[in-house]
Amino acid sequence: MADSMHHRLTAGSPYPLGATSDGLGINFAVFSANATRLELCLFDERGRRELCRLALPECTDEIWHGYLPDAQPGLVYGYRAHGPYDPRNGHRFNPHKLLLDPYARRLTGAPRWSDALFGYRMQHTKADLSMDRRDSAIAMPKAVVVDDYFDWGRSAPPGTAWNDTVLYEVHLRGATMQREDLRTPLRGTAGALADPRFLDHLHRLGVTAVELMPVHAFLQDRFLIERGLRNYWGYSTLSFFAPEPSYVPQGGPNELKQAIRRLHAADIEVILDVVYNHTCEGSELGPTLSWRGLDNASYYRLVPGDERYYVNDTGCGNTLNISHPRVLQMVMDSLRYWACTYRVDGFRFDLGVTLGREGTGFDPGSGFFDAILQDPQLTRLKLISEPWDVGPDGYQLGQHPPGFAEWNDRFRDGTRRYWRGDDGMTGELAARLTGSRDLFDRRHRRPWASINYVASHDGFTLRDVTSYACSHNEANGEEGADGHGENFSANWGHEGPTDDDRILDLRSRVQHAMLATVLLADGTPMLLAGDEFGNSMGGNNNAYCQDTPVSWLDWQDLATDPGASLARYTARLIALRRAHASLRAARYGDAGYEIAPGIAALSWFTEHGQPMDPPAWEDAERRTLAMRRAAANDDHEANVTLLLLNAGDEPVNFQLPLPTLAWTIELDSAQPSRPTQPADDQAQEVAAHSVLVLSAQTPRGTP
């Protein structure tokens, strides 16, 4: 090891946390309340050889800090933390383990799995109570000091209103791995995501925002590597500030910024799926990579009275201690960093209930929510929560504070069950179509708070919902124990792919009807990437470990007649939603308020054109429903739409409700290419498993 006399640390500053260059040197600051000593370790530019170790000379308010004169961006470094190794009391300091800076903004190298990455002797009879003294540096990724400057030019965020938003959930790597029109090195990278042809596809669809699955640097878990699999989804965070290195192989962080700038120039917002509920270090038997070695007792929630073990409300082995002010600060600093330095437009919080937990359980007034909602920068962004975790009372759909939207799995399940033909689903579907006002119409929240979807990364694709009665996850090697047990899916007569035209037609109709339900309901619609052209994962409903064609979008489907037709139909639905204010209510309001004489803001009818009464709502075998909505176009005219839904096996003749209007048939999900045309009859036939959409304009005075 080189003589540390070649480098001298001065006191520096406790703020900001992380490694910060001022042009004349670099300031290092890292939090640890329980360490007795912290060492800065400097490496060669490839991160392979440790050059020296320098003790951080100052500790201010539990922030250890030092300043290295003449150092410049590009410096490679890590930390070693000294303190008690006392797992029973929550302390796991081990200076033999190189630790990643929690504020690292760029990484070099990837973890090379070996037992040396663990703070304890893995084969020891005392398990994690033992201590491993092997140096882990050679197996560890290192942090790289960065210069965050990037020229954004005149680009600006699109600023799309919530009420006009259509989300497109997509995996950055999987979106382009099978794009044969791209050079192989570019596939699966941030640069490929902003390829003009992909942007053109998004424009043709009419989506306004991409919701990217995790792009924070994440760990390839050892148990997956040993099974020949990989962590594909990325919900195993290794750094909250650095982009996943494999996504930015050419230009580092700037490569992702360039992609975001191009997406913004195309009026596409960028929302990041972020994981602040747990880290990749897992349970007490996991590796020591960063937070565990720096201050385990502060960074994690430990079992009171038995601090050897972790509270596991996430199901991933550990839970970040967001109640600790420094841990909350880390999360807030990370959010602001991505909002300012990368200019993202919002965040989707994985297991958002965990983030809102205080000592008494989930609290919509928790420190986490309060910190975000008072922040003048973050509160203006689109904020989306996954409203559940696996802890006590972990299902909190509709209970988040104003300012947050929530993934609505009841919309997903209700839509699937209604179109599958389950009994007693009419009332449930009606509630979901109206922006789930039974769940969200409180505290002045708006319909956009309900994120409506029928498929997401977590579960079947839309095509698979109509092709498989059960999951087929054999490739995961987990003997069928993984994934949802109840998918509310149906194969409509044959499990998996088939050449039977009758089954294929039926599946197509159900897919069309489900897409219409998502895109024409009040709330914020979300599409799973690939659903618009019939992408399949072969019945795998938990492809978290499938970094293979199983998960990657197969763009060849879009080149087929069925795929191209489905994409055109999806685009038509989105355009229809955009064209009619009554298909995207801005507020809940009074459903009975008359927008025009005899036409309430919201009305329900039977197929006979009569208002739905209690016996009709309670009819478990009912498969039909008519939904009429009205909204003011201006002071003189009202926009009225009528959805006629038939989930039965036979066509149904619907009598259009009074008053009589000059209706136009906008869309027939059973005949996607049917042109817009006047409805020349007050009775309309609706095919089995389909939706008919009509619209009318009427004066707000006498009709």
* pLDDT for residue 188: 97
How high is the pLDDT of residue 155? 87
**Omega of the bond leading into 659 within 30 degrees of 0 (cis):** yes
Are 289 and 111 in contact by the 8 Å Cβ rule? The answer is: yes
C-alpha 646/C-alpha 684 separation (Å) is 12
Q: Above 80 in pLDDT, residue 449? A: yes
pLDDT of residue 5: 40
Summarize pLDDT for 348-376 with one digit per residue, the tens: 999 999 999 998 899 999 999 999 999 99
**pLDDT at 702 > cutoff 60:** no
In the numeric block, the tokens 């290192």 are attached to 142
pLDDT of amino acid 480: 57
Q: CA–CA separation, 701 vs 112, rounded Å?
A: 73
pLDDT value of position 442: 96
Share of the chain above pLDDT 90, in %: 95
Cβ atoms of 211 and 170 within 8 Å: the answer is yes
Q: Over 70: is that where the pLDDT of 6 sits?
A: no
Give whole-number Cα distances, 143 to 323, 480, 562, in Å: 27, 38, 48
Phi-psi sector, 132: left (phi>0), alpha (psi -120 to 50), beta: beta
pLDDT for 536 equals 98
Question: Can you tell me the distance from the alpha carbon of 686 to that of 689, in angstroms, rounded to the nearest whole number?
Answer: 9
Is residue 86 annotated as a catalytic residue, yes or no? no
The b/e string for 345-380 (b: 16+ C-beta within 10 A; e otherwise) is bbbbbbbbbbbbbeeeebbeebbbbebbeeeeebee
Q: Does residue 350 have an active-site annotation? A: yes
Looking at residue 313, its pLDDT comes to: 97
Res. 216: pLDDT tops 50: yes
pLDDT band at 423 (very low <50, low <70, confident <90, very high): very high
CB of 157 closer than 8 Å to CB of 340:
no
Confidence check: pLDDT of 568 > 90 = yes
Give dist(CA 436, CA 117) in Å, integer.
48
How confident is the model over 79-133, as pLDDT tens digits? Answer: 999 999 999 999 999 999 999 999 999 999 999 999 999 999 999 999 999 999 9
Mapping DSSP to helix (H, G, I), strand (E, B) and coil, where does residue 666 land? strand
- Quick one: what percent of the chain has pLDDT higher than 70? 99
Locate tokens 């972990």: which residue? 394
First to last CA, the chain: 88
pLDDT at 440 over 70: yes
Sign of CA dihedral 283, 286, 288, 291: negative
Number of DSSP helices (H) and strands (E) in the chain, helices first: 15, 31
CB burial string 180-215: b at 16+ within 10 A, e below: eebeeebbbbbbbbbbeebbebbeebbbbbbbbbbb
Residue 1 has pLDDT above 50, yes or no: no
| pLDDT computed for residue 497 by the predictor | 97
Predicted confidence at residue 4, as pLDDT, reads 43
User: Which of these, 664, 672, 668, lies nearest to 686 by C-alpha position?
Assistant: 668
Catalytic choice (295, 386, 522, 547): 386
Instruction: Tell me the CA distances in angstroms from 321 to 161, 240, 357, 386, 467, one per residue in order.
Output: 34, 15, 9, 18, 42
**Which pLDDT tens digit goes with each residue over 231-254?**
999 999 999 999 999 999 988 899
pLDDT of residue 486: 85
Is the predicted pLDDT of residue 403 greater than 50, yes or no? yes
Residue 3 reports pLDDT greater than 50: no
> Considering only CA atoms, which of 90, 72, 472 is closest in space to residue 295?
90
The pLDDT tens digits for 645-692 are 999 999 999 999 999 999 999 999 999 999 999 998 999 999 999 999
Closest CA to 571 of 672, 498, 473: 672
Q: Which one is catalytic: 221, 273, 350, 522?
A: 350
* Mean per-residue pLDDT over the chain, rounded: 96
Residue 496's pLDDT band, with cuts at 50, 70 and 90, is: very high
SS3 176: coil
